[in-house]
């Protein structure tokens, strides 16, 4: 096996890539731990699940707002300062939230907003570095697919680390543990020479483009963001689908298996495209990938399937997520000016987050109103919306690639 035959091997052998990917994933863990950590902390104090939902939603929405704003700041002043300061502020907010949730719940909600808003934008920061680190073409495609697939590890490890953290540190200490992981990951990330070199280059010349408009104002970038929102909807709905299926079948633990196998399917999809990247351009592949992702969720509408087959269908539904996200990341790197690339990646991260949140919220409302029998309609509705919004990514004759400015 040679790196030329397998681009993902070449990516992993490239200097800095393994370190940056692993530290980025470490710093992103709080995002996969916070929801369960907050629910468990509220449960151990007031027990008010309505409040648990409120404070979790505030954290998630604030994070979606903060990522493009911090990304724009990175594009102005560099990665090192922004990631360090935001990491410290987010950790302090996590600490304050853990200590004030019971005596001062209103302050805890405000601190949840701060923790989300100042979440270090490691995801867009890493994706802005990929074009600097690896060769264009198959290697860059493999890097983006590897990034998307590795992200699934977060959503496997996050809940497990939360369980361990609660057992070892208690509900309050676990929230500090989650915030601490984010801070350590952010600080470790910026110790690498690549972010520091990018920041030095930004200070010496990149800030000469203060008039660069927000990339979300570029129509093609906005369409990709809407597309990304669409692929997040079934991902978010799956949490409710899995929980409702567990209740309908009266099979304790089924939801966990469905979500875990879905994540395994995503890892398989990432591995396949990492070894053999898709051959066409992102402009042509986005809609196709989105439609295939929507199609992959449809077997979950067959609620009468045997349990083993239903769990297997969950794996199938995860296969196309990393390849689709890989096309999103590559397309954004083509469309956005280099001087605004971190912000552009921040917008698609936020779009995905909002899509996941919308899918979870809508599916929960439907099950709450109609019961577990509505699972099939949730799957069909989420898949139809994904397929419909995938059409937005179709290339148009007027779409042009944004001019590349020096980074």
Among 163, 182, 210, residue at a domain's last position: 210
Tokens at 195, concatenated: 């972010």
Which of 210, 233, 252 marks a domain boundary?
210
| Same domain, yes or no: 116 and 253 | no
Mean pLDDT of the chain: 85
Domain boundary pick from 210, 238, 253: 210
Q: Which residues contact 177 (CB under 8 A, 6 or more apart)?
A: 161, 165, 168, 169
Looking at the structure, tell me whether residues 194 and 327 fall in a common domain. no
pTM: 0.80
- What the block records as the tokens of 206 is 């990149």
**Alpha-carbon distances, residue 37 vs 129, 153, 186, 350, 402 (angstroms):** 31, 18, 20, 21, 41
Whether 334 is covered by a domain: the verdict is: yes
**pLDDT at residue number 401:** 45
Q: Do 168 and 258 belong to one domain?
A: no
Residues 138 and 253 in one domain: no
My answer on whether 29 and 43 are in the same domain is: yes
User: Does some domain include residue 8?
Assistant: no
- Are 339 and 407 in contact by the 8 Å Cβ rule? The answer is yes
Are 154 and 28 in contact by the 8 Å Cβ rule? The answer is: yes
Residues 219, 317 within the same domain: yes
| pLDDT given for residue 205 in this prediction | 55
> Is residue 191 situated within a structural domain?
yes
Q: What's the rounded Cα separation, in Å, for the pair 274 and 140?
A: 10
Enclosing domain of residue 201 = 14-144+154-210
Whether residues 308 and 370 share a domain: the answer is yes
DSSP H helices, 191-218, are 193-204
Within-domain flag for 382: yes
Q: Is residue 38 part of a domain?
A: yes
pLDDT per residue as tens digits for the range 13-58: 888 899 999 999 999 999 888 877 887 788 787 766 678 778 888 8
Q: What would the pLDDT profile of 186-224 be if each residue is shown by its tens digit?
A: 999 999 998 888 777 765 654 445 556 788 888 999 999
**CA 222/CA 387 separation, integer angstroms:** 17
Q: Encode pLDDT of 300-359 as tens digits.
A: 999 999 999 999 999 999 999 988 998 998 899 888 888 888 899 899 989 998 898 888
Scanning the structure block, which residue is given the tokens 């390849």? 323
For residue 335, give every residue at least 6 positions away whose Cβ sits within 8 Å of its Cβ, in sequence order, or none: 215, 218, 220, 221, 224, 344, 401, 402
Residues 308 and 159 in one domain: no
pLDDT band at 177 (very low <50, low <70, confident <90, very high): very high
- Under DSSP, is residue 304 helix (H, G, I), strand (E, B) or coil? coil
Q: With respect to residue 313, please indicate whether it lies within any of the assigned structural domains.
A: yes
Could you tell me if 185 and 247 lie in one domain?
Answer: no
As given in the structure block, the two tokens for residue 202 are 């930004």
Cα–Cα dist 293/323, whole Å: 9
- Tell whether 149 is covered by a domain: no
**Domain-located, residue 300:** yes
Query: What percentage of the chain's residues is helix, strand, coil (to nearest 5)?
Result: 85, 0, 15
Q: Which residues contact 81 (CB under 8 A, 6 or more apart)?
A: 199
Identify whether the C-beta of residue 123 lies closer than 8 Å to the C-beta of residue 63: no
Tell me how far apart the alpha carbons of residues 181 and 94 are, in angstroms, rounded to a whole number. 11
Q: Distance between CA atoms of 122 and 128, rounded to whole angstroms? A: 10
Same domain for 171 and 306: no
Per DSSP, the three-state class of 303 is: coil
- 233, 228, 318: which is closest to 282 by C-alpha? 228
User: Are 51 and 170 members of one domain?
Assistant: yes
- Asked whether 82 and 121 are in contact (CB, 8 A), the reply is yes
Helix (DSSP H) and strand (DSSP E) numbers for the chain: 15, 0
User: Do 190 and 82 share a structural domain?
Assistant: yes
Name the band, by pLDDT with cuts 50, 70 and 90, for residue 138.
Answer: confident
Query: How many Cβ atoms from other residues are within 10 Å of residue 15's Cβ?
Result: 11
Three-state secondary structure of 307-350:
HHHHHHHHHHHHCCHHHHHHHHHHHHHHHCCHHHHHHHHHHHHH
Residue that has been written with the tokens 């801070």 in this structure: 183
CATH code of residue 379? 1.20.1250.20
Question: How many domains does one find in the chain?
Answer: 2
């Amino acid at each position: 096996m040679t790196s030329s035959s397998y681009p993902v091997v070449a990516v992993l052998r490239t200097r800095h890539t393994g370190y940056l990917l692993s530290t980025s994933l470490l710093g992103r863990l709080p995002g996969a731990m916070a929801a369960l950590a907050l629910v468990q902390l509220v449960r151990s104090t007031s027990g008010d699940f309505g409040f648990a939902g409120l404070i979790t939603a505030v954290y998630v929405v604030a994070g979606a707002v903060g990522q493009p704003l911090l990304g724009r700041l990175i594009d102005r002043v560099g990665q090192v300062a922004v990631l360090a300061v935001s990491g410290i502020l987010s950790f302090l907010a996590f600490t304050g939230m853990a200590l004030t949730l019971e005596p001062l719940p209103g302050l805890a909600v405000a601190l949840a907003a701060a923790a989300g808003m100042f979440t270090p934008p490691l995801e867009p920061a890493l994706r802005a570095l990929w074009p600097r680190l690896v060769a264009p073409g198959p290697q860059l495609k493999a890097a983006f697919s590897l990034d998307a697939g590795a992200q699934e590890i977060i959503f496997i490890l996050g809940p497990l680390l939360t369980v361990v953290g609660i057992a070892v540190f208690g509900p309050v200490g676990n929230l500090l543990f989650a915030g601490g992981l984010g801070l350590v990951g952010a600080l470790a990330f910026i110790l690498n020479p690549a972010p520091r070199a990018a920041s030095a280059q930004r200070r010496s010349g990149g800030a000469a483009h203060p008039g660069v408009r927000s990339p979300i104002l570029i129509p093609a970038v906005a369409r990709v963001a809407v597309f990304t929102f669409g692929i997040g909807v079934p991902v978010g709905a799956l949490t409710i689908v899995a929980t409702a299926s567990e209740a309908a079948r009266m099979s304790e633990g089924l939801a966990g298996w469905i979500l875990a196998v879905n994540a395994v399917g995503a890892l398989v999809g990432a591995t396949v495209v990492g070894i053999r990247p898709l051959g066409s351009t992102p402009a042509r592949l986005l809609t196709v990938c989105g439609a295939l992702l929507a199609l992959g969720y449809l077997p979950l509408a067959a609620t009468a399937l045997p349990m083993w087959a239903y769990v297997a269908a969950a794996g199938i539904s995860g296969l196309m997520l990393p390849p689709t996200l890989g096309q999103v990341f590559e397309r954004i790197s083509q469309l956005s000016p280099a001087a605004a690339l971190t912000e552009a990646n921040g917008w698609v991260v936020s779009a995905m987050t909002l899509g996941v949140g919308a899918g979870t919220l809508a599916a929960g409302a439907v099950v709450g109103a109609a019961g577990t029998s509505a699972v099939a309609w949730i799957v069909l509705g989420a898949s139809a919306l994904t397929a419909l919004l995938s059409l937005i990514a179709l290339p148009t004759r007027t779409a042009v690639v944004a001019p590349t400015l020096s980074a």
